[in-house]
């Protein structure tokens, strides 16, 4: 049996104080001598320590229970049909998740929200040019001979870009490379006028919503985005190989905001305040112009008829591609898109494994369920890993395990539209989550292919490294996941990304309320992303034929959760955070050379944070040493205080006003890049201000840069105070 809960000083861990019942009149009261009681208590404590399995026992047992068959069975069941958010098929997928978790005796519930989603009503695109017949594009992804999903493929949503503006445009085409700000700047420098034109850009470097918004800001009337063979079809196409077929199309959202567009900054709860749908669609976070995605084959057909100057070498396609030219014209694109933006019900699934000693402390594991098509990689490889992991937790419970802290398993909905389900839940539960959550552990797509990849807030770096040494490399039984991770980087150093991008459900946890977080996967990219071909066949043939990679991700995910839930002292390391703050400051200093801005406030705040981190390291070592020599003598109030500081330091990096112009993003250390929602930016407020100052070069703009430096210095100083546990 696990040891009894300790009195850690919190109200939920204390036994209620009940006045003793006085003895009846005239009855003597027996008095027990205190010495035997103390001896008995000491013996009981030591007995429990000697016979109760240690947390390491349950971690080893957890790793031994991995099941390839369980992961494969869940993935197959989840990907039988396309299951877009707001559809009946996705509701059935939610039922599968609820059934799987409930069967393990975990209390499980569905949390619904009414949110604004978008679906296509009508799409058309045709190409014409002088001397050429008009070519209408089918805008259909072809199935292949023997495709087991051919019949249900008709249920997949037609190729579209969610939240694109409805309208019709007929205009000359302009080629804009990857649609980045620098690409449009190059066109302007070459004298290519984008105003009123239809921009053709290729996927690959930035978020699709940024491509369309950048086109709108450049004056374009509409946008078309295609999958270039150079990036997505560099080998044999599916089903013979893993690459995108000629008619494959990447669909997706173009909303640059986060959560339900009708409830910006607050939760989409029943009866809540909302902005109207026209108001929501008119914000700068929406694309604002009609747009469509097309296949590589259709994109190449358009490029063959675009004239004008030859595009630069790095704008060209791969071997065998036509020469890419800038335009405008003579190719003319006639584009129509009619969308239906409507309120729809989405369903988060929440399952709870209640903690024994600290039930009011949460370790949250999350993955989303909704997919643009079948979703075998994105996201249901992650859902399958979550359910396989849950099965192992259930087996641990049968062996007597109960976590010290509460573990919450979350399966989000409508992530693909703009991280909607997770954001609404975080906004609705903000106060509870900010006061009680230890960490959020995210897996979006568990398996893309080979290699191991991880991103984290820096205090979790060492925990990730330690855990990876205990998990077997799924592709080489003689190695650990750590060995694979090391080999994946040419510098022979572990590379951990930062959770600053807006690409998955960690966003609300880190960037809005300041929760320490991680995100892990096997592999990082795959060619059939968001297309009809992201199905079980692709995964079984190319992604993970033996489903060992699914098990490896579940092992890593669960092992980190067990360490965080069961260890008495939280395994955080803020010295690593100090190093990362310094690295970010070095980059800022380089960009400030020769300008009237001082980074001194930032440098001073980082130095103070380093001192606080070293002090915390010393305190943790002292407690751990005392625990080794006197296992039952650790002061629970001291442990509780230390854990509170470790947990709450990340919150101190947030600011209630948020980033300038982007108030939902409260974290001043990590947030998405202003011009690429997928890209993680360190010190995003400073970066935004520097970009503006470099464009305008006014004294006021450089004063804004200085102001942003003071802002991040202030939150780092706040974090130092929390970590050190003192007041000024």
Catalytic machinery residues:
415
- Encoded tokens for 542: 């190319």
Q: How far apart are CA 303 and CA 336, in angstroms?
A: 19
Backbone torsion region of residue 530, taken as left when φ is above 0, otherwise alpha when ψ lies between -120 and 50, otherwise beta: left
Q: List phi, psi (to 5°) of 194.
A: -90, -15
- For the beta carbon of residue 553, count every other beta carbon within 10 angstroms: 31
Tell me the two tokens of residue 19.
């006045």
Nearest alpha carbon to residue 525 among 205, 298, 246? 205
Does residue 9 come out as left (phi exceeding 0), alpha (psi in the -120 to 50 range) or beta?
left
Per DSSP, 536 falls in state H
Nearest Cα to Cα of residue 413 among 84, 40, 55, 36:
84
Strands (E), 192-325: 198-202, 222-226, 252-253, 291-294
Query: Coil, strand or helix: which one is 577?
Result: helix
CA distance 218 to 226: 19
Angle formed by the axes of helices 684-696 and 574-591, nearest 10°: 0
Residues of 615-640 as b/e, b for ≥16 C-beta within 10 angstroms? bbeebbeebeeeeeeeeeebebeebb
Q: Are 406 and 354 in contact (CB under 8 A)?
A: yes
What are the CA-CA distances from residue 669 to residues 202, 495, 498, 713 (Å)?
A: 31, 19, 10, 10
What DSSP string runs through 421-464?
A: HHHHHHHHTHHHHHHHEEEEEE-SSSBSSSSEEEEE-GGGHHHH
Q: Do residues 239 and 218 touch, judged by C-beta distance below 8 A? A: no
Tokens, residue 648:
């709450």
Q: Three-state SS string across 660-704, please?
A: CCECCCCECCEEEECCEEEEEEECHHHHHHHHHHHHHCCHHHHHH
Both tokens of 594, joined, read: 């020769």
Distance CA 212, CA 180 (A): 10
Rounded-to-integer distance, Cα 262 and Cα 115, Å = 7
Burial of 351 (0-12, 13-18, 19+ CB in 10 A): buried
How far from 256 is each of 243, 280, 668, 712, CA to CA, in Å? 28, 12, 19, 24
Report strand pairing: 198-202 vs 222-226: parallel
Give CA–CA dist 403/354, Å, rounded: 7
What kind and span of H or E run contains 390? helix 380-398
Alpha-carbon gap, residue 277 to 264, rounded angstroms: 12
Q: What are the CB-based long-range contacts (under 8 Å, 24+) for 480-483?
A: 481/452, 481/552, 481/556
Strand 252-253 with 161-162, pairing: parallel
């Amino acid at each position: 049996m696990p040891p009894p809960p300790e009195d850690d000083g919190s109200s939920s861990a204390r036994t209620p104080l009940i006045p003793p019942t006085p003895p009846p009149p005239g009855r003597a009261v027996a008095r027990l001598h205190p010495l035997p009681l103390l001896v008995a208590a000491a013996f009981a404590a030591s007995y429990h320590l000697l016979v109760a399995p240690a947390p390491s026992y349950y971690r080893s047992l957890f790793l031994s229970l991995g099941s390839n068959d369980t992961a494969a069975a869940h993935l197959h069941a989840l990907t039988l049909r396309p299951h877009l958010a707001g559809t009946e098929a996705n509701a059935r997928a939610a039922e599968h998740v609820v059934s799987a978790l409930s069967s393990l005796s975990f209390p499980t519930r569905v949390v619904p929200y009414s949110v604004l989603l978008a679906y296509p009503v009508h799409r058309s695109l045709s190409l014409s040019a002088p001397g050429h017949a008009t070519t209408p594009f089918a805008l259909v992804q072809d199935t292949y001979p023997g495709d087991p999903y051919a019949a249900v493929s008709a249920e997949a949503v037609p190729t579209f870009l969610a939240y694109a503006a409805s309208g019709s445009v007929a205009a000359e085409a302009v080629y804009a490379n990857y649609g980045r700000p620098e690409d449009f700047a190059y066109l302007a420098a070459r004298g290519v006028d984008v105003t009123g034109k239809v921009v053709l850009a290729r996927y690959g470097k930035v978020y699709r919503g940024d491509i369309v918004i950048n086109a709108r800001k450049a004056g374009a009337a509409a946008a078309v985005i295609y999958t270039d063979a150079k990036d997505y079809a560099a080998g044999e196409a599916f089903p013979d190989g893993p690459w995108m077929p000629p008619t494959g199309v990447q669909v997706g959202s173009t909303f640059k905001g986060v959560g339900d567009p009708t409830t910006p900054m607050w939760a989409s709860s029943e009866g809540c305040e909302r902005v109207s749908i026209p108001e929501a669609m008119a914000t700068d976070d929406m694309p604002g112009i009609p747009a469509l995605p097309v296949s590589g084959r259709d994109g190449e057909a358009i490029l063959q008829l675009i004239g004008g100057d030859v595009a630069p070498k790095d704008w060209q396609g791969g071997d065998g591609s036509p020469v890419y030219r800038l335009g405008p014209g003579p190719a003319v694109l006639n584009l129509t898109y009619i969308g239906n933006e409507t309120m729809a019900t989405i369903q988060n699934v929440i399952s709870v494994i209640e903690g024994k000693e600290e039930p009011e402390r949460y370790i949250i594991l999350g993955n989303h369920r909704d997919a643009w098509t079948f979703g075998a990689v994105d996201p249901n490889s992650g859902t399958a890993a979550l359910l396989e992991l849950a099965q192992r937790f259930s087996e641990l419970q049968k062996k007597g395990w109960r976590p010290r802290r509460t573990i919450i398993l979350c399966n989000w909905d409508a992530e693909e539209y703009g991280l909607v389900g997770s954001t609404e839940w975080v906004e609705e539960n903000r106060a509870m989550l900010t006061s009680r959550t230890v960490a959020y552990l995210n897996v979006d797509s568990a398996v893309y292919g080979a290699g191991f990849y991880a991103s984290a807030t820096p205090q979790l770096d060492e925990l990730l490294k330690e855990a990876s040494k205990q998990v077997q490399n799924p592709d080489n039984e003689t190695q650990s996941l750590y060995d694979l991770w090391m080999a994946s980087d040419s510098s022979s150093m572990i590379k951990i990304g930062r959770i600053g991008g807006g690409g998955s459900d960690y966003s609300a946890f880190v960037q809005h309320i300041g929760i320490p977080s991680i995100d892990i996967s096997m592999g990082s990219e795959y060619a059939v992303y968001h297309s009809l071909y992201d199905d079980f066949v692709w995964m079984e043939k190319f992604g993970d034929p033996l489903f060992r990679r699914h098990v490896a991700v579940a092992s890593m995910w669960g092992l980190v959760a067990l360490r965080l839930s069961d260890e008495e002292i939280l395994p955080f390391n803020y010295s690593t955070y100090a190093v990362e703050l310094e690295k970010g400051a070095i980059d800022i200093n380089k960009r400030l050379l020769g300008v009237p801005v001082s980074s001194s406030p930032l440098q001073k705040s980082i130095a103070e944070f380093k001192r606080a981190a070293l002090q915390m390291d010393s305190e943790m070592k002292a407690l751990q040493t005392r625990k080794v020599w006197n296992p039952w003598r650790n002061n629970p109030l001291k442990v509780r205080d230390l854990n509170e500081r470790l947990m709450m330091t990340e919150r101190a990096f947030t600011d209630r006003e948020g980033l300038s112009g982007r108030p939902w993003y409260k974290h001043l250390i990590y947030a998405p890049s202003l011009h690429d929602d997928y890209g993680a930016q360190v010190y995003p407020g400073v970066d935004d201000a520097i970009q503006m100052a470099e464009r305008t070069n006014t004294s006021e703009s450089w004063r804004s840069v200085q102001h942003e430096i003071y802002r991040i210095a202030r939150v780092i100083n706040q974090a130092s105070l929390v970590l050190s546990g003192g007041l000024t």
